Structure 1
Amino acid sequence: MAALTLYELNSMVRDVVELGMPGSYWVEAELSEVRERSGHCYMELVQKDLTGNSTVARASARCWRSTWASVRPGFEQVTGEHFRAGLKVLLQVHAQFHENFGFSWIVTDIDPAYTLGDMARRRQEIIRILKEEGVFDLNKELCLSLFASRIAVVSSESAAGYGDFCNQLDTNAYGFAFSVRLFPAVMQGERTEGSIISALDAINSEADDFDCVVIIRGGGAVSDLSAFDSLALAENVANFPLPVITGIGHERDESVLDMVANKRVKTPTAAAALLIENLKHTYDRIVQAQERISVSVSRRMDYERVRLERVSGRIPVLFSLVKTRQQARIDSFFARVGAAAGRIVAEERLRLDRLSVALAPAVRQRLSAENHRLELLGQRISAVDPAILLRRGYSITLHNGRAVYSPGQLSDGDVIETRLAEGNVRSVVRNKDN
């Protein structure tokens, strides 16, 4: 059996397509990607399941320049929307199979009366709910730290965007040091929402260790951005206690997550550039403040130097004036002290003279009184003088040098002495009771 060439096989497919599907069809689909090149429009069409999370059909479509130039202005004028990803559209297409380029749906008309697709309506509903809850701008109200360098990153560990982000920070032109910690998450597909929320929960438990959170996605289809139009994920980011920076989309695409984040950039490298620029701005402010302080201090020193020179020039004159004034004060003080001392000495001398005059009569009177008192005391002493009593015939009996007042003081054999006016008599006591 002879083998067919690829061209022959593709030609057969083309004939089957042209014969089996000769007409045009109206088809409703959601735009997951729209690109314009050389005047032509290239589209990626998707159909989601009823939950809106899983893609059940996907196809490529093209609108050639001649048709696109007429249908695009009419569509945008009627809908008030740019022809972009996220819209659900009604297209008139016919099938085309080219031997070299494969199968594609060729768009010949677009119904502008067909409104926004389910993806866009769901996004608007999420935005409405977030605004009603009062959290839509909550994360935007947080201020990115001037010294933000401790970065928590939510991304796929194997994503090229994460590597580009880290490399951008590590090789920054200013030598700024960043501390980056990855919290791995799935960044496309049905698991995206739950995976990112889990990563945010892990960061929240260590929130004091970080300055901000960066959610980045390294490339991927635009249709995968629908995972970031999630109410639960948007609420987590809106209420997060740290500023959240997103770099998950392309230049022309914006997810709900981008809308509620503190800052939104296009790519992971743009997120790194934002952080570098933030530190650069802080560094410039510090340098400018340093320069202003230096200039201010220099001016102040010049002013104080001139002022000091003026003061130092006035010091000798001031010192001379002060010295003269103080010397005059001292001289006046000494004069007043001398005069006061002279007055006090004169007053005390006069007082002493008065006291001396008054003292002599008092002394003489006191001496006379004391002499009279002594004479009286002498008379009293003379009256009780033992010698006088002895001359009168009295005697004194002594035993062991003590006067005897009672016979009870003596015992037989005691030697007593009797003192008389003209001598002493010794006796021995015998028969004391007789």
Structure 2
Amino acid sequence: MQALSLFELNEFIRRITALNFPEPLWLRAEIAQYSFARGNHYLNLVEKEDNNSKGVIAESEAVIWSRNFLKIKSSLEVPVESILQEGLEVMFRVQPEFHERYGFKLIILEIDSAYTIGKLAVERQKIIQELREKQLLDLNSRLPLPRVIQNIAVLSTDTAAGYQDFMEHLSKNGFGYTYETTLFKMAMQGENTVEEALQNLKRIRRSTKPFDCVVIIRGGGAKLHLKAFDDFGLSEAVAQFPLPVITGIGHERDESVLDMVAHTSLKTPTAVADFLITHNFEFENSIGHLALQIKRSIVTRISGEKIRLNDFTNAIKHLSHGVVRQNQQLINQAESNLPGLIQNRINLSKTTLDHLGGMVELLNLEKTLSRGYSISTDEAGKIIKSPEAIKEGEILYSRFKKGTVTSKITKDKKN
């Protein structure tokens, strides 16, 4: 049985590969892994089934030799590093090669950045439209910001220059404001960005700390570095987040989908710090204006009350003078009427006394007896007023003007 050696087989495959691919060709594939060493850039390219992140149906190794990398870098309108990101689908011009020892490789000669940018733009528009249909684009922006912002949840990486600028600018605000920030570390580019951001948002939601808002910041970078911030799942989570989300992802010209759904979108981390400082300053300023208005209101009220008090004082003085004059007139009138009243009282009293004197005179016993009347009494001296008070055998004394007659009752004839 004739058998081929491994070298002979691989040499045969190399010749077949060279024969079937005499010229470079354009290939689209997703970058699954990326690394570089000694000037060479190594990629693991994959194709997935229906954009399923786990359903890989094809895979191959690729390389950009250092001599080709410089040519590619100078030919692109965007930084080549922004294209060579894990998770991006890229259009490459490649030369398939097979080496007897190192196996099959795709030698990358050119990169079509327009394909990647265009594909991302189409996907971005689809995401925006879906968010619009779900009425999520302005949902977070309708949340009210606290009057004073102090407790801030920050999504960033502590090694990023943008984060350091943000913290320094916030602490050296010039107004003496203090802020309490809590950093939730996450990758700000690459395939882990979305997942780490979502996990941190869940942690913030579960936290017992009373955060006032969430800040997402990163340093500057190429447009394609913002791919993670065009993700639908992350944008949806931010739109529906119960706290205001403020973004400053460090790109002057391009707006990410995350910027569109955030409560407030700013260009840089420093701009976010300025926004937070200005927000608190406006509140302090409004308090100052309110205090001034209260002071002015108090001064106006006091002035008005002083005027009213003076008016009341003058009215009381005028009224008191009138009352005094009226009472003086009454006193004068009473003084002039008093002698007549006294004389009338005396005359009335004299008439009454005369009348009473006449009555007393009429009741005088001697006067009564002199007019022919008599008074009868029993032995005890009790005046007899009716026949019923007399019994047979009793002694009766009858007094007349000129004497007393003693009688004995022998017969009672009362009827």
| TM-score normalized by the length of structure 1 | 0.55
Deviation at 1:363, TM superposition (A): 3.0
For 2:113 and 2:167, locate their aligned partners in 1 and report how far apart those are by CA, in whole Å. 46
Q: 2:356 matched to which residue of 1?
A: 359
1:253 aligns with 2:254: yes
Task: For 2:142, give the aligned amino acid.
Answer: E
Relative distance call for 1:375 and 1:122 in structure 2 (3 A) is: farther
Q: 2:200 matched to which residue of 1?
A: 199
- Does the 8 A contact of 2:235 with 2:261 survive in 1? yes
Question: What does the per-residue CA deviation read over 1:33-71, in whole Å, with 9 as the maximum and x for residues that have no partner?
Answer: xxxxxxxxxxxxx98745476998997785978x98xxx
Deviation at 1:347, TM superposition (A): 4.9
1:139 aligns with 2:136: no
Q: 2:42 matched to which residue of 1?
A: none
For 2:253 and 2:297, locate their aligned partners in 1 and report how far apart those are by CA, in whole Å. 51
Relative distance call for 1:116 and 1:366 in structure 2 (3 A) is: farther
Task: For 2:358, give the aligned amino acid.
Answer: P
Counterparts of 1:153-192 in structure 2, within 5 Å, are 153-192=154-193
Q: 1:379 matched to which residue of 2?
A: 378
Question: What does the per-residue CA deviation read over 1:265-290, in whole Å, with 9 as the maximum and x for residues that have no partner?
Answer: 22322221221222334444455666
Deviation at 1:323, TM superposition (A): 7.3
Q: 1:329 matched to which residue of 2?
A: 326
Question: What does the per-residue CA deviation read over 1:378-426, in whole Å, with 9 as the maximum and x for residues that have no partner?
Answer: 524169xxxxxxxx9xxxxxxxxxxxxxxxxxxxxxxxxxxxxxxxxxx
Deviation at 1:260, TM superposition (A): 0.3
- Does the 8 A contact of 1:62 with 1:104 survive in 2? no
Question: What does the per-residue CA deviation read over 1:280-325, in whole Å, with 9 as the maximum and x for residues that have no partner?
Answer: 344444556667777x579969x959x97xx99x999999977764
Q: 2:37 matched to which residue of 1?
A: none
Task: For 1:197, give the aligned amino acid.
Answer: L
Relative distance call for 1:48 and 1:256 in structure 2 (3 A) is: farther
- Structure 2: unaligned runs, 5 residues or longer: 1-19, 32-44, 78-84, 96-106, 383-394, 396-415
For 1:334 and 1:204, locate their aligned partners in 2 and report how far apart those are by CA, in whole Å. 88
Deviation at 1:209, TM superposition (A): 2.0
- Does the 8 A contact of 2:90 with 2:113 survive in 1? no
Deviation at 1:212, TM superposition (A): 1.5
For 2:326 and 2:351, locate their aligned partners in 1 and report how far apart those are by CA, in whole Å. 37
| TM-score normalized by the length of structure 2 | 0.57
- Does the 8 A contact of 1:87 with 1:116 survive in 2? no
SS in structure 1 of the partner of residue 183 of structure 2: strand
- Does the 8 A contact of 1:228 with 1:255 survive in 2? yes
For 2:166 and 2:317, locate their aligned partners in 1 and report how far apart those are by CA, in whole Å. 75
Relative distance call for 1:221 and 1:380 in structure 2 (3 A) is: farther
Deviation at 1:21, TM superposition (A): 8.6
- Structure 1: unaligned runs, 5 residues or longer: 1-19, 32-45, 69-84, 96-102, 384-391, 393-434
Relative distance call for 1:252 and 1:346 in structure 2 (3 A) is: same
For 1:211 and 1:156, locate their aligned partners in 2 and report how far apart those are by CA, in whole Å. 20
SS in structure 1 of the partner of residue 380 of structure 2: helix
Deviation at 1:214, TM superposition (A): 0.6
- Does the 8 A contact of 2:153 with 2:184 survive in 1? yes
Deviation at 1:137, TM superposition (A): 0.3
Relative distance call for 1:129 and 1:285 in structure 2 (3 A) is: same
Question: What does the per-residue CA deviation read over 1:194-248, in whole Å, with 9 as the maximum and x for residues that have no partner?
Answer: 4323322333345882322111234566544332333332222212232110122
Which is further off, 252-261 or 349-358?
A: 349-358
For 2:228 and 2:112, locate their aligned partners in 1 and report how far apart those are by CA, in whole Å. 31
Task: For 1:335, give the aligned amino acid.
Answer: N
- Does the 8 A contact of 1:89 with 1:116 survive in 2? no
Task: For 1:355, give the aligned amino acid.
Answer: T
Relative distance call for 1:116 and 1:159 in structure 2 (3 A) is: closer
Root-mean-square deviation (CA, aligned residues, Å) is 5.4
Counterparts of 1:389-404 in structure 2, within 5 Å, are none
For 1:48 and 1:277, locate their aligned partners in 2 and report how far apart those are by CA, in whole Å. 49
For 1:157 and 1:63, locate their aligned partners in 2 and report how far apart those are by CA, in whole Å. 30
Deviation at 1:356, TM superposition (A): 1.7
Counterparts of 1:12-411 in structure 2, within 5 Å, are 25-28=25-28, 49=48, 51=51, 62=72, 105-106=109-110, 116-117=118-119, 119-205=120-206, 209-218=210-219, 222-286=223-287, 325-338=322-335, 345-366=342-363, 368=365, 376=376, 378-381=377-380
Task: For 1:359, give the aligned amino acid.
Answer: L
For 2:113 and 2:205, locate their aligned partners in 1 and report how far apart those are by CA, in whole Å. 50
For 2:334 and 2:199, locate their aligned partners in 1 and report how far apart those are by CA, in whole Å. 95
